[in-house]
Structure formats: C-alpha cells, structure tokens
C-alpha cells in the first residue's frame, strides 16, 4: 500500500513521462515534416490580368535553387517545367551557395545550376538575375581570404566563370537591364550589395529602382520586374513595375500559412514572405509574387514550407 506522499510522487513521475513521450512524438513528427518538406517541391500557380497584354503568356520562376537537385541532374524539376511548357523560364538568383566559392577548387559547386539551366535553355528562353549569393562572390569579404588558394579575387573569378558558362549555355542574364519579350518588358533588377544588410541599416531612397536601372518603365508596355529581394516592393511599385517576382525569404524556414517565421536579415514574420501581394501606387495596382524558393542552405530545414516551382500566367483583361 502506497503512502499519500508516494502516490503523489508516482503520479508526478507518470505525468512527466507522458509529457516526455508527447514532446518526443512532436519532435519526431517535426523532423519527418522537415525531411519531407526539404525533399519535395510543389507547383504554385498565379494569374495576372492586364489590359497591356494582348495574348496569354506563361512564365516559370525558379528562385533560390542553392545547388539543390531533384532527381539525377534535376530531372524531376526539368520534367515539371516541360509539362508546364512556359514561354520562358525566369531565374530569381541564389542558384549557388556563396561560401562554397571560398573552399571549392573544382568549380563543382556550380555544376548543378549550370546543368539545370543549360538543359532548360535548350528548350526555352531563360532569363536570370543574381541573388545575394552570386552578388556576395564579388564582394571583398569573399575574396580576401580564400583557403586553399593563392592570391585574391578568387570568388570573383569563379563568379566570372559561372556567368560565362551560363551565357555559353544560352542563358540571358539581366543585370539591371531590360529586354522586350513577346510584347512585354522583362527587367532584371540587382540592387546594391548593402540592400541585403543583415543589420537592416540600408535605407533605400524612394527612387532607388530608377537610380539603379537608369531608366523608367514604358507605361504602355506590361513590365515584369525580376529581382531577388521582396523587401523593397514599395520601391518596385513606386517605379512602376506592373508585377514583380522575388524569392530570397525561403518561405521564412518555418511557415504558418502565408506567414513565415524568419527572413535572411533576421526579421521575424517578414512583411513579404511568400505568395501574392498588391500595392496601389501611381494610379494602378501592382502585383508582387514571392516564391518560397527551390532549395536551402546553412540551415537545411523547411517546416510546413515545401520548395516551390512558381508559374505566372499573364492574361489580357476580360471585357
């Protein structure tokens, strides 16, 4: 027969075990979800209507690949894009992992994105902008101390080699450039390196897009702005982009519906995380579409946040 004190201790121990088992089960479920979400991708479809277009246009948007591979040579991803049969493929940057440029003497870190975009460029027009990882390879901190190398500017050289190989494969890089494509303007915007500042001290001017690009949008032509960071959507809208495509946030690592937990500049629940957003400026509606990205780096975790292949269909306005 247990004493009252022993009975209380037994009950407390049983409760502690139950809590422990529940926590262990929750951790196991979270791990399984993280593994599941890190090994698959979903296709998200968006539709934009505009009086500025006269025919249907479909784009596939691939962002933040970070050297990820879905099947050998990214076969699964290529098959998925082929099934969509887009008018063009747009790359939103961060196809590489910048830190690998400091250690990889074989250029193997660029093989996966080069293979993917090389294969896609054989079938579709491919346009690309840089993300912060490609941009970082050109910055002093990635070039001053490269272990295993002699001399400096190694990451920069690798970035040059990567760029040249992309170009040779048929990929058109849009470094603050505009190209007329099927009746619309595709614009690749690459804001200064400081725009990715993790201390969040960089304050852009209202006109930073025009100052960076050096040109204004043609008001008669639908302008699709492809740029890496969604944080500056108000500036993109102020400049006059009809629609902007971004990535960078990786869905916030852990996602609660449309709300992601953390951005790369350590902002909790960033304003523009993933999905579709609208701003009314200059007398018309501007659209922002943010991809959760295709890959991960540093923290290879996605919870409630599978990778995304994004398709954007632009249609003439209904009468």
Which residue(s) pair with 47 in the sheet?
A: 313
Cβ of residue 126: shortest distance to Fe ion, in angstroms?
19
Measured at the CA of 40, the angle between CA 35 and CA 45, to 5 degrees, comes to 140
Q: Does residue 138 contact residue 155 with C-beta atoms inside 8 Å? A: yes
- Name which of 53 and 294 has its Cβ closer to Fe ion: 294
The full length of the chain comes to: 319
Cβ of residue 227: shortest distance to Fe ion, in angstroms?
11
Q: Does residue 229 contact residue 263 with C-beta atoms inside 8 Å? A: no
Q: Does residue 245 contact residue 62 with C-beta atoms inside 8 Å? A: no
- Give the integer Cα–Cα distance in Å for 117 and 300: 23
Closest to 262 in 3D by CA, of 278, 273, 276, 277: 273
- Name which of 132 and 296 has its Cβ closer to Fe ion: 132
- Name which of 178 and 248 has its Cβ closer to Fe ion: 248
- Name which of 68 and 248 has its Cβ closer to Fe ion: 248
- Name which of 69 and 94 has its Cβ closer to Fe ion: 94
- Give the integer Cα–Cα distance in Å for 235 and 206: 6
- Give the integer Cα–Cα distance in Å for 202 and 193: 10
- Report the residue closest to Fe ion, judged by CB: 248
Closest to 295 in 3D by CA, of 310, 307, 309: 307
Q: Does residue 35 contact residue 301 with C-beta atoms inside 8 Å? A: no
| Alpha-carbon separation of residue 303 from 66, 106, 242, 266 (angstroms) | 18, 33, 32, 17
Q: Which residue has the tokens 């702005």?
A: 225
Cβ of residue 73: shortest distance to Fe ion, in angstroms?
24
Cβ of residue 182: shortest distance to Fe ion, in angstroms?
28
Cβ of residue 67: shortest distance to Fe ion, in angstroms?
13
- Name which of 125 and 131 has its Cβ closer to Fe ion: 131
Rounded to a whole number of angstroms, the distance between the first and last alpha carbons of the chain is 84
Q: Which residue has the tokens 């295993």?
A: 148
Q: Is the dihedral of CA 145, 151, 156, 159 positive or negative?
A: negative
Cβ of residue 133: shortest distance to Fe ion, in angstroms?
6
Cβ of residue 266: shortest distance to Fe ion, in angstroms?
13
- Name which of 138 and 248 has its Cβ closer to Fe ion: 248
State the residues that interact with Fe ion by CB under 5 A.
Answer: 94, 131-132, 248
Cβ of residue 318: shortest distance to Fe ion, in angstroms?
36
- Name which of 178 and 231 has its Cβ closer to Fe ion: 231
């Amino acid at each position: 027969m247990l004493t009252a004190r022993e009975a209380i201790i037994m009950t407390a121990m049983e409760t502690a075990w139950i809590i422990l088992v529940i926590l262990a089960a929750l951790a196991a479920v979270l791990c399984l979800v993280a593994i599941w979400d890190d090994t698959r991708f979903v296709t998200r479809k968006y539709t934009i209507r505009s009086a500025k277009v006269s025919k249907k246009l479909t784009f596939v948007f691939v962002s933040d690949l970070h050297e990820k591979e879905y099947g050998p040579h990214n076969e699964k991803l290529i098959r998925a894009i082929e099934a969509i049969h887009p008018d063009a493929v747009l790359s939103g940057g961060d196809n590489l992992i910048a830190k690998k440029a400091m250690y990889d003497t074989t250029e193997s870190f660029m093989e996966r994105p080069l293979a993917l975009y090389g294969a896609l460029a054989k079938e579709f027009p491919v346009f690309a902008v840089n993300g912060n990882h490609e941009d970082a390879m050109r910055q002093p901190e990635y070039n001053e101390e490269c272990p295993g190398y002699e001399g400096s500017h190694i990451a920069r050289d690798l970035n040059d080699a990567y760029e040249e190989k992309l170009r040779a494969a048929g990929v058109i890089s849009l470094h603050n450039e505009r190209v007329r494509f099927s009746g619309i303007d595709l614009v690749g915007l690459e804001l200064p390196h400081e725009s990715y500042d993790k201390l969040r001290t960089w304050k852009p001017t209202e006109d930073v897009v025009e100052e960076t690009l050096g040109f204004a949008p043609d008001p008669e032509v639908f302008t699709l702005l492809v740029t890496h960071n969604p944080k500056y959507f108000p500036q993109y809208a102020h400049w006059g982009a009809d629609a902007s495509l971004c990535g960078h946030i990786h869905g916030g690592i852990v996602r609660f519906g449309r709300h992601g937990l953390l951005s790369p500049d350590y902002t909790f629940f960033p304003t523009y995380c993933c999905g579709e957003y609208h701003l009314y400026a200059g007398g018309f509606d501007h659209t922002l579409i943010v991809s959760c990205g295709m890959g991960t780096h540093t923290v290879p975790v996605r919870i409630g946040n599978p990778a995304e292949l994004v398709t954007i269909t632009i249609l003439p306005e209904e009468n």
